[in-house]
Amino acid sequence: MFAAMPALCAAQENPASTSPPAPAAAQSEGFNPFNALRNFFDRALPAQAPTPPAVTAPTPGAAAAPGTPNMVATPAPQPIAPVIPIVTTSPAPQTTSGADTARAIPLLSQPDTAQPSAAPEIASTMGAPAVPRATGAPQATGATRAGIALILPTKAPAFARAAEVTRAGFIAARNAGKDAVPFTLFETDGSPERARAAYREAAAQALVVVGPLTRSEVGALIGESISVPTLVLNLPEPPAGALGSPAAMPQKMRALALNIEQDAQSAAHAMYGPERQSAVVVTINSALQKRAAAAFTDAWIRLGGQIGEPVEYSGSLARVRQGVERAKADIVFLAADAANARLLRPYLGRNNTVIATSQVYSGAPKSEAQKFHDMNGIRFIDLPWLHLADRASLGFAQPDTPLSPDLDRLYALGIDAYRVARELVRGQGEFDLDGVTGKLRVLAGSIEREPMQAEFRDGEASPVR
């Protein structure tokens, strides 16, 4: 179904583009979304308000509400309650902060200097209105486990929006099919301690556990007793020097993750071949992009390829051009965000094959004047969901308002997470799935995900067939 898929010189114009010059991306080592995922939990999280008790799940098949209010700014957090709350499949809308959500998105291109902003609207796919809250939920035994447990950091101010969008995608997939599997949402504050406690309770009640979402939370489960099939939505922090290779995970645990290292590794596998043996890496001064560069380099060398001297853009476009020309490589791997990719593309050689990660894609142009002609020729790795001509044909509820590419990827992650979990509930151990995050091969202890390739042509991104 899918194809295999600054110091910026302000006076520097892009000779290849009729579009306005792109703004320079921040080059500081300040806020970085991927580093936030890695380092957020090294700092004490602000305390949270006591979370509500359980909500009784609606009957499967109940009519969906016509819509839910848009997300608004998160109120100031209050002291953390010691009890892990459980919320069912039709919770009342949560208040979230849009900028904070960005920090939990695995493939985020938001600048390091981003400031809080109003949260964009998200899908109204939450099912029927919330019913009166119950005072508690019975503890299941191994013999009475049922359904799916979904663990998300909805009570972490920085991650609440990411959790909300992921949940929306999860519910969209559940509502799209027959024989919907019931699920319970276990809310956490994003801390490793709460993740472990939530997991223990979830595993005692459900046949399959989905989550947690952040690296820190997933890493907290390493060493836990994994008693039921568990689908985590991120990878634990890799061992030192592993260049993106994940830590070994326990038996019964699989990971369905979206991260920049996987993008870079997929780019290497997509490009390497008899006619493409050498590569040069061009990167910007960003911790996130350097992670992508390291992962690509490692994968390329493992495939048997040669890597030239890396080229880092630190303000001189002429040095970038000279470095690429000196390398005389078969391909150029560009580790940059969308703004810097537009700036750098004319200096990478018009006849060179350029491959990048999904970071170069900032969404479809809204008008002819906004097309990205200066990006033409750049190939990149991405999720099929973002480049489908007709999403409605898949049968999944769509967001009421278009999401940013970063949020859209989380929505897709939620969709495929439910679809995989449903098969695990049915006892399927190994299977293939044509997913919206890519072609998935679910194996006994892992998930192989093959994303797609897209290419900028005539100022727009098009799937590579």
Q: In sequence order, which residues have a C-beta less than 8 Å from that of residue 30 and are 6 or more positions away?
A: 112, 113
Q: In sequence order, which residues have a C-beta less than 8 Å from that of residue 459 and are 6 or more positions away?
A: 19, 365, 371, 372, 373, 375, 376
Q: So what's the pLDDT on residue 263?
A: 95
Task: Assess whether 294 and 354 both reside in one domain.
Answer: yes
CB 328 within 8 Å of CB 251:
no
Q: Answer yes or no: is 53 within a domain.
A: no
Distances in Å between the Cα of 100 and the Cα atoms of 19, 33, 132, 271 are 31, 10, 29, 35
Task: Assess whether 168 and 227 both reside in one domain.
Answer: yes
- At residue 326, the 3 state secondary structure works out as helix
What range defines the domain where residue 410 resides?
Answer: 89-128+141-258+402-428
Task: Assess whether 240 and 266 both reside in one domain.
Answer: no
Number of domains present in the structure of the chain:
2
Q: Answer yes or no: is 301 within a domain.
A: yes
Q: Answer yes or no: is 441 within a domain.
A: no
Q: So what's the pLDDT on residue 249?
A: 82
Q: So what's the pLDDT on residue 455?
A: 97
Task: Assess whether 267 and 373 both reside in one domain.
Answer: yes
Q: Answer yes or no: is 65 within a domain.
A: no
Task: Assess whether 413 and 355 both reside in one domain.
Answer: no
Residue 148: strand pairing partners: 183, 208
CB 35 within 8 Å of CB 105:
no
Q: Answer yes or no: is 232 within a domain.
A: yes
CA–CA dist 118, 121 (Å, integer): 9
Task: Assess whether 230 and 312 both reside in one domain.
Answer: no
Task: Assess whether 163 and 267 both reside in one domain.
Answer: no
Q: Answer yes or no: is 10 within a domain.
A: no
CB 456 within 8 Å of CB 371:
no
Q: Answer yes or no: is 239 within a domain.
A: yes
Task: Assess whether 281 and 178 both reside in one domain.
Answer: no
Q: Transcribe 294-308 into DSSP letters.
A: HHHHHHHHHTT-EE-
Task: Assess whether 280 and 248 both reside in one domain.
Answer: no
Task: Assess whether 319 and 362 both reside in one domain.
Answer: yes
Q: So what's the pLDDT on residue 37?
A: 41
CA–CA dist 131, 304 (Å, integer): 59
Read off the CATH number of the domain in which 336 is found: 3.40.50.2300
CB 263 within 8 Å of CB 358:
yes
Q: Answer yes or no: is 192 within a domain.
A: yes
CB atoms within 10 A of CB 35: 17
The secondary element (H helix, E strand) that includes residue 200 is: helix 192-205
* Residue 309 DSSP symbol: -
pLDDT tens, residue order, the chain (465 aa): 433 333 333 333 333 333 444 444 333 334 444 444 434 333 333 333 333 333 333 333 333 333 333 333 333 333 333 333 333 333 333 333 333 333 334 443 333 333 322 223 233 333 322 222 222 334 445 568 999 999 999 999 999 999 999 999 999 999 998 889 999 999 999 999 999 999 999 999 999 999 999 999 999 999 899 999 999 999 988 766 555 555 678 889 999 999 999 999 999 999 999 999 999 999 999 999 999 999 999 999 999 999 999 999 999 999 999 999 999 999 999 999 999 999 999 999 988 999 999 999 999 998 999 999 999 999 999 999 999 989 989 999 988 778 899 999 999 999 999 999 999 999 998 999 999 999 999 998 899 999 999 999 999 999 998
Query: HSE (CB half, 13 Å, CA atoms) of 318?
Result: 1
Task: Assess whether 289 and 235 both reside in one domain.
Answer: no
Which tens digit of pLDDT belongs to each residue from 140-181? 455 689 999 999 999 999 999 999 999 999 999 999 988 899
Task: Assess whether 182 and 163 both reside in one domain.
Answer: yes
Polymer length of the chain: 465
**What is the distance in angstroms between the CA of the first residue and the CA of the last residue of the chain?**
10
Query: HSE (CB half, 13 Å, CA atoms) of 19?
Result: 21
